[in-house]
Amino acid sequence: MGDSSDIPASRPLDHPLPAGMRDLLPEQAAARRQLSRKLLECFALYGYAVVTPPVFEFAEVLERGLGTLAPADVLRFIEPESGEVAALRPDMTPQIARIIATRLRGRPPPFRLCYEGTVVRRRSGRARKHRQIPQVGVELAGVSAPHGDLELLALTADALRAAGLGQFTIDLGNAGVARALLSPLSPETQSRVSEALAHKDASEVAAACSAVGAPNAEALAALPGLHGGRDALVEGVGRLATSPAAAQAKSLLALFDAAASGGLGGHLTADLGEVRGFAYYTGAIFHVYAAGTGDAVGSGGRYDALLGRFGWALPAAGFGLDLDRLAEALLSIGSEEAGSVRVVVVGGAAHPSLADLRARGLVAVAIQDRNAALVWARAWGFSHVLDASEWVDAKTGASIASPMGERGDR
């Protein structure tokens, strides 16, 4: 370990972090932990068990299941012990696939696994300043469509409600629609048409198809307008009835209706022209949106081909929730947790009230001087000061009743 002379003199130390990295201060870290806990507790009610993958793996393993991520998104380095190329995880799903196919191979499917952790990506979305993305999510392997898809949609909605978000939209799509219509085209034309579909640019879709005499041109040109509620899906099923995407369009309508029958009708929209991840996902895909944030709160879908890349072909689907985006959405509606009781006891470390409060499950620390206790409590977000038998509100300094519903000495 070097001394202070090892630090370049020109580097400012007030915020010495690489671009896109950040610290979470105590209040921020506590809020994130509380949000994660609510989501994981909801996942547990559905039978999902927590796994914790490593923060980096050999690049070759991760790249088997990168899905929609480009290789340029991945941060690689040489692992000193082996000399092999390793990578910081840009996505949890390939890691869960590896765990299922290797470490859990002796257990019977289905597999219901969930996770919490940070992924790291080199590039940023339009609304994202950070390269480290905190996520919680689930993976369901061994349950085919539509049953697995419906379970994940119900779990998504319940998890968001458990977090305190009542208003949200789940936008459904089917990756097979775009794949079926684009498959006859060259990679270059596929890329051009996909870009136009992503921007709902019907004229550019038509121009790109016309330039190469593309089959399915009429169906592709219709996709940008086939999004909205159930009526848009019904129209899409009719317009794609004679196209290679007919079965996928019908499947999406059936999933929409089944999810609506399960109580999600007020949260659903659909988009037959969704192209994000169509080269990776094999069936249903969805994105979750909420007011107050500039990007999707979460996303997921079906990727039945993924487990086969790790040696065990199983149907699979999953979703991830972005904790930053979810926190923004909650903040926009004024959803704040009621402050927990955290007490500064005026006295020494042997004060008998400390043990009593901790036995009740309350955070308690000791500071000798009353004035210093009030200052410290306010700075560190403690709610109360206890001086002898007097309870004091840390914010106002006023005497109050005991936060346990009692007065005076406990």
pLDDT digits (tens, 9 = 90+) for 198-250: 999 999 999 999 999 999 999 999 999 999 999 999 999 999 999 999 999 99
Other CB atoms within 10 A of residue 390 CB: 14
The answer to whether the beta carbons of residues 292 and 329 sit under 8 Å apart is yes
Summary mean pLDDT of the chain: 90
The answer to whether the beta carbons of residues 154 and 144 sit under 8 Å apart is no
Q: Rounded CA gap, 256 and 235, in Å? A: 14
Q: Rounded CA gap, 27 and 24, in Å? A: 8
Strands 132-141 and 111-120: antiparallel
pTM of the predicted protein model: 0.87
Six-digit token string for 340: 């927990």
Other CB atoms within 10 A of residue 164 CB: 15
Six-digit token string for 391: 């309870």
* Start-end of H helices in 142-216: 147-163, 175-182, 187-198, 202-212
Q: For 60-69, what is the mean pLDDT? A: 73
Task: List the single range of 128-132, 209-213, 274-278, 360-364 with lowest mean pLDDT.
Answer: 128-132
The pLDDT tens digits for 6-33 are 545 555 566 677 877 888 899 889 999 9
The answer to whether the beta carbons of residues 268 and 247 sit under 8 Å apart is no
Six-digit token string for 94: 């390939």
pLDDT category of residue 1 using cuts at 50, 70 and 90: very low
pLDDT of 391 strictly over 50? yes
The answer to whether the beta carbons of residues 198 and 273 sit under 8 Å apart is no
Other CB atoms within 10 A of residue 18 CB: 8
Residue 407's pLDDT is 44
Residue 129's pLDDT is 65
Q: For 322-339, what is the mean pLDDT? A: 85
**Buried b / exposed e across 109-122, counting CB within 10 Å, b at 16+?**
bbbbbbbbbebbbb
Q: For 260-288, what is the mean pLDDT? A: 93
Q: For 254-274, what is the mean pLDDT? A: 97
